[in-house]
Amino acid sequence: MTHVIRVHEYGGPEVLKWEQSDVGEPGPGEIRIKQTAIGLNFIDAYMRSGLYPQDELPFIPGTEGAGVITALGEGVRSLKVGRRVAYAGNMGAYAEERLIAADRVVRIPDGVSDETAAAAMLKGMTAQYLLRQILRVGPKTTLLFHAAAGGVGMIACQWASSLGATVIGTVGSAGKALIARSHGCAHVINYLEEDFVAKVQEYTNGEGIDVVYDSVGKDTFPRSLDCLKRRGLWVSFGQSSGPCPEFRINLLAQKGSLFATRPMLWDFIATRKALVSTANDLFGVLKKGAVKVSVNQTFALKDAAKAHRAMEGRRTTGSSVLIP
């Protein structure tokens, strides 16, 4: 027997229950993993609360992790027992051991730790599609990244800076401002003390920015749109402060023929080819040192409720992992 965290009803962190479970043997095309580290992400809280309803209850939350293969199912040829692997976008991560389709994991290269892989897969591949697929960020790009000291923000801001972009970040405290500055931000705005729209216009000499990456939602909308230059792009990829209010699409025209998108990671790694390509791009910048992943908090898996309270209370910086 092994242990998992289960959610039997939607609610606050208290609904995360530590329970025994029988993992079983992998079926055809599957592998069994003994997990060594599990990524903690805001999407876990959205699922736990019911904001993102699941197909059925109970369910095991969590979508990314890393570990060692302990068994192979029929037909699995490309992997071996004992190999280190990581994954993202696959429900059921809050577990000491789990089964997963072999074609949804990637090998962890030498030089990348299990904790780094677990912390970086979802957030790092999110940064990859934001910067390299939705828009090809480069030296001519000026961008605004909300929550620059968060898990995705710290990775994306470093990556964008390494590509030559001018990066403006928003944060909620002086301490987080220091973190953002040391992770690629040329300019940092404390949105609790400063008007981020006015500061963006100041930093860009009134021209505005090419793209704003917004994972905050309600608290930054629609003012994020006011930071953009004509035909700029608003990328809404999260809602840590709550969902954006509904709006008439004519608003985009009124504010300068803007473009808007609401992407999800899954659609950028849906095929095996796309998953491997995205992960390899991420591992490449990690190994080169262009991006450093800061695992600033670790929690025991059984203390997942404590971890969720810290995350939702914005008492975390960088990345957090759960240790089985």
Q: Is there a common fold for 2-121+270-323 and 139-262? A: no
For residue 239, what pLDDT is reported? Answer: 76
Write out pLDDT tens, residues 194-235. Answer: 999 999 999 999 999 999 999 987 888 899 999 999 999 999
Q: Tokens at residue 126, please?
A: 């999110």
For residue 59, what pLDDT is reported? Answer: 97
Select the highest-mean-pLDDT range: 11-15, 149-153, 236-240: 11-15
Write out pLDDT tens, residues 27-49. Answer: 999 999 999 999 998 889 989 99
- Rounded CA-CA distance 102/72 in Å is 8
Q: Which residue in 213, 200, 62 sits closest to 133, CA to CA?
A: 213
pLDDT at 240 over 80: no
For residue 294, what pLDDT is reported? Answer: 82
For residue 315, what pLDDT is reported? Answer: 84
Q: Domain boundaries in the chain?
A: 2-121+270-323, 139-262
For residue 56, what pLDDT is reported? Answer: 93
Which residue, chain included where needed, has tokens 């069994």?
32
Write out pLDDT tens, residues 78-115. Answer: 899 999 999 998 999 999 999 999 999 999 999 899 99
For residue 42, what pLDDT is reported? Answer: 86
- Rounded CA-CA distance 200/238 in Å is 21
pLDDT at 243 over 90: no
- Rounded CA-CA distance 251/262 in Å is 16
| CATH superfamily entry for domain 139-262 | NAD(P)-binding Rossmann-like Domain (3.40.50.720)
Confidence of residue 258 (pLDDT cuts 50, 70, 90): very high
Mean pLDDT over the full length of the chain: 94
Architecture of domain 2-121+270-323: Alpha-Beta Complex (3.90)
**3-class DSSP state of 274:** helix
Q: Average pLDDT for residues 164-178, to the nearest whole number? A: 94
Residue 137: how many other CB atoms lie within 10 Å: 24
Q: Which residue in 59, 58, 82 sits closest to 69, CA to CA?
A: 82
Please give the order of strands across the beta sheet that includes 166-171. Answer: 187-190, 166-171, 142-145, 209-214, 228-236, 259-261
Bridge partners, 86 (sequence order) = 66, 106
CA atoms within 13 A on the CB side of 96: 15
- Rounded CA-CA distance 243/55 in Å is 21
Residue 259: how many other CB atoms lie within 10 Å: 14
CB neighbour list of residue 64: distance below 8 Å, 6 or more residues apart = 38, 39, 41, 86, 87, 88, 89, 90, 93, 118, 121, 122
Q: What share of the chain is helix, strand, coil (3-state, %, to 5)?
A: 35, 25, 40
pLDDT at 318 over 80: no
CB neighbour list of residue 148: distance below 8 Å, 6 or more residues apart = 154, 157, 167, 169, 170, 171, 176, 179, 180, 183, 185, 188
- Rounded CA-CA distance 69/102 in Å is 10
Write out pLDDT tens, residues 292-305. Answer: 998 889 999 999 99
CB neighbour list of residue 249: distance below 8 Å, 6 or more residues apart = none
Confidence of residue 182 (pLDDT cuts 50, 70, 90): very high
* DSSP secondary structure code for residue 59 in this structure: B
Write out pLDDT tens, residues 7-31. Answer: 999 999 999 999 999 999 999 999 9
For residue 169, what pLDDT is reported? Answer: 97
pLDDT at 246 over 90: no
Q: Tokens at residue 95, please?
A: 């577990």
